[in-house]
Amino acid sequence: MILHCDLDSFFVSVEEAKNPALKRKITAVGGNVYGRGVIASASYGARQYGIRAGMPAYTALKICPALIIIDPDFRSYGDFSKRFFEILSSFSPDIEVMSVDEAYLDTKGMEWLFTGPRKIAEGIKAATKEKLGINVTIGGGSRKYIAKAASRVSKPDGLLLVEDEQAFIAELPVTRISQVGEKFGNVLAAMGIRTVRDVLSYDRDFWERTLGKKGAWLYDVASLGSADDICRSDPLPRSLGNSLTFASDLLFEKADEELKKLCGKVGRRLRRDGLRGRTVELTVRYDDFTTLTNSLTLSFPTDMSGFIYNAARGMFEKYSGYDGKFRLLGVTVSNISEALFDECDLWTCKRTERTRKIYTAIDAIQKKYPALRLDYLG
């Protein structure tokens, strides 16, 4: 089972742990006493007045003049966060940190030591309260999105390990499923699909015919038929790229040929590691050592060399009028995510699915014959 561990009203809770006199008062962290800035964290007492994180401080004070606004102490928050993750690490080595106050923990393999997920969750709650003086809400399920939904409905200071998962997730918004972002969510909404139950009103064949692999994946997740999530203790890389300093400086046309090779290499590395990226960055260095960078964010993450090259080539085109030569080119892809499916519009996904088969074949040949260079940019 995967546990989603989420500290309650983290910044405010830290301030209350430091100064118990603040407990049971209406408090918030952020902004300042003059009402400038925004609220970063609100106590549950403040939330009863409608005060939320992101609200302008002057609005919060207007709603509740008795509100006590505390200046943030990020050094303390960092210290409490570190100690919280140390507590989690004492219960399992498989932890995926999501933010300063939130993490997933995989209980698999630890049942023999703690006699089951519930004992682990209860131990985490007790240790967090004893050592930090703050509360943590925990939800548990076989998938991350189920665990997170369980913790969300259990706040504050709750514990819910979902047993009948299919019944629990039936009325969840489909956008609660991991990897169903805004773009995919809009596609589903246009089809009248808003909840997990709506997904299951059609069979797997329908979803595969309509949305290809992504549709089949969605059905599998909704029906709890896909493989369990894993917690990544090793975070995804922030970026992945390659650069090349030329043996001799090149004119634009020759440099463009090298750009194609760089994009091909970056794409192969992404596909090899099962990753995709949304932002493409181009680095250009002139023969006088002037270095310039440009970036472009795509509408969907990709691992295809052709998409990467099209983005990089569009940025490189602005240098076509440069009279000198080029000393270095670099291509980096960032906004990295795992390659679960092609997140794009329906027409693009259909074309991408065909193209992906070509890349799969080329990558297999490349792996078998490393000395052979096949740079497909379709």
- 347: exposed, middle or buried (Cβ count in 10 Å: 0-12, 13-18, 19+): exposed
Residues 6+ apart with CB under 8 A from 221: 143, 177
- Phi, psi (rounded to 5 degrees) for 266: -65, -45
DSSP 56: B
What does the H/E/C string look like for 182-234? HHHHHHHHHCCCCEHHHHCCCCHHHHHHHHHHHHHHHHHHHCCCCCCCCCCCC
Token output for 182? 């805004």
Q: Which residues are catalytic?
A: 102
Query: How far is CA 82 from each of CA 128, 147, 160, rounded to the nearest angstrom?
Result: 12, 22, 25
Q: Which helix (H) or strand (E) holds 78?
A: helix 74-89
> 3-state DSSP: the chain helix, strand, coil percent, rounded to 5?
45, 25, 30
